[in-house]
Amino acid sequence: MEFKHTSVLLEETIDNLQIRPEGIYVDGTLGGGGHSSRIASELTGAGRLIGIDQDEAAIEAAGARLKPYEERVTLIRDNYCNAKQALTGLGIDKVDGIVLDLGVSSFQLDNAERGFSYKYDTALDMRMDLRQALTAADIINSYDEMQLYHVIKDYGEEQFAKNIAKHIVNARKDKPIETTGELNEIIKAAIPAKMRATGGHPSKRTFQAIRIECNRELEVLKESLDDFIEMLNPGGRICIITFHSLEDRIVKTSFRRNENPCTCPSDFPVCVCGQVSKGKVITRKPVLPSGEELADNKRSKSAKLRVFERGGQ
């Protein structure tokens, strides 16, 4: 299956990145290489792009797409949370820009075998990195009711999380829940019929929650942001596209804290904590897709772009 993914907020991201032709750039979520191919096309001379993705199919697809720029592109199969070590291994300490396009790619959703989507009846997998042991089936069959409830409520923001968790635990007493189709039926039974009639597919929020838990998406994001800002050269920018309110909150909070890290009480006349600002938030409000993009790509609906610029000389 061809790795297809329409890059969301592409022009807005490239504009905000303020690419320097001889700079070093990192795409931490390579996907199909949409953002990367645009960055690479603007690089010259010593300019360099490092593309990172944990999905083998993404590395292959992006490798083919980035072939015209291969002399200035390095691809690494890894999770972006390991970017600092990976770059150190390449002899790179600082970079001029970083892009993260979070969430799941169109390819991953549309590839039935991967088990990301409730639209296909297949094995419950949902791993972005197939080398990982933990699958969605493991979570569904081994987490206790309270753990499942918290995952579905916190990561899916699902109002029927309690009932869904209860139905899952009851259903697996008979036999393990192995497919997306089985999980769909269980979720459907846990949601009142009149609620199923509105608000999209009944499994949407639960599937999203299980995927986030399976791939540790929010922990990885939280653990990586300070490192990424630290890696930027003065004037370098990090552009992050989120598709979920929890992701967006993590990015917004991190950017604000790096802009103003002072922990002194508000009534102190001067700062004594010694925490120094790392730069400034460029996007006070997130950049949203245009009406045109929304019409062309319905998956861009929940996308938000936030940008931070490293300070210093």
Does the structure show a pLDDT above 70 at 2?
no
Write down the pLDDT at residue 103: 78
Per the CB < 8 A criterion, the answer to whether 217 and 250 are in contact is no
What amino acid occupies position 118? Y
Residue matched to tokens 């991201």: 13
- E strand spans, the chain: 24-27, 48-53, 73-77, 95-101, 232-242, 279-281, 304-310
CA dihedral 189, 191, 197, 199 (to 10 degrees): -130
* Tokens read off for 192: 């009142």
pLDDT surpassing 60 at residue 52? yes
The gap between the terminal CA atoms of the chain, to the nearest Å, is 47
Pairing, β 279-281 against β 304-310:
antiparallel
Say how far apart CA 164 and CA 159 lie, in whole Å: 10
Least confident of 6-20, 35-49, 75-89, 98-112: 98-112
pLDDT tens for 152-170 read 999 999 999 999 999 999 9
Confidence of residue 194 (pLDDT cuts 50, 70, 90): confident
Residue ranges matching CATH 3.40.50.150 in the chain:
10-107+217-310
Q: How many CB atoms lie within 10 A of CB 242?
A: 23
pLDDT at 198 over 70: yes
Residues 229/308, Cβ–Cβ less than 8 Å: yes
Q: Which two tokens stand for residue 38?
A: 């645009």
DSSP state of 80: G
Quick one: 10-107+217-310 is in which CATH superfamily?
Vaccinia Virus protein VP39 (3.40.50.150)
* The pLDDT value given to residue 214: 96
User: What percent of the chain clears pLDDT 90, i.e. is strictly above it?
Assistant: 82
| 155: three-class secondary structure by DSSP | helix
Instruction: Look at residue 4 and tell me whether its pLDDT is greater than 60.
Output: no
Mean pLDDT for the chain? 93
Top-confidence residue, 220 or 103 = 220
Q: Per-residue pLDDT tens for 240-281?
A: 999 999 999 999 999 999 999 999 998 999 889 989 999 999
Give the pLDDT score at 5.
55
pLDDT tens figures, 104-118: 877 777 787 889 889
Say what the pLDDT of residue 113 is.
85
Q: Specify the pLDDT at position 212.
A: 95
* Tens of pLDDT, residues 69-86: 999 999 999 999 999 999
Q: How far is CA 209 from the centre of its chain?
A: 13
The residue-averaged pLDDT of 92-111 equals 87
Per-residue pLDDT, averaged over 19-47, amounts to: 96
User: In this structure, what is the dihedral angle of CA atoms 87, 92, 97, 98, given to the nearest 10 degrees?
Assistant: 10
Q: Specify the residue for token string 């039974």.
A: 189
pLDDT, greater one: 51 or 4:
51
What is the pLDDT, as a whole number, of residue 85?
96
Enter the DSSP assignment of 7: P
Q: Which two tokens stand for residue 188?
A: 């459907």
Span(s) in the chain for CATH 1.10.150.170: 133-214
| Structure tokens given for 186 | 């269980």
pLDDT at 297 over 90: no
Does the domain spanning 133-214 belong to CATH 1.10.150.170? yes
Q: Which residue has the higher pLDDT, 200 or 38?
A: 38
User: What is the reported pLDDT for 79?
Assistant: 95
CB neighbourhood size of 9 (10 A) = 23
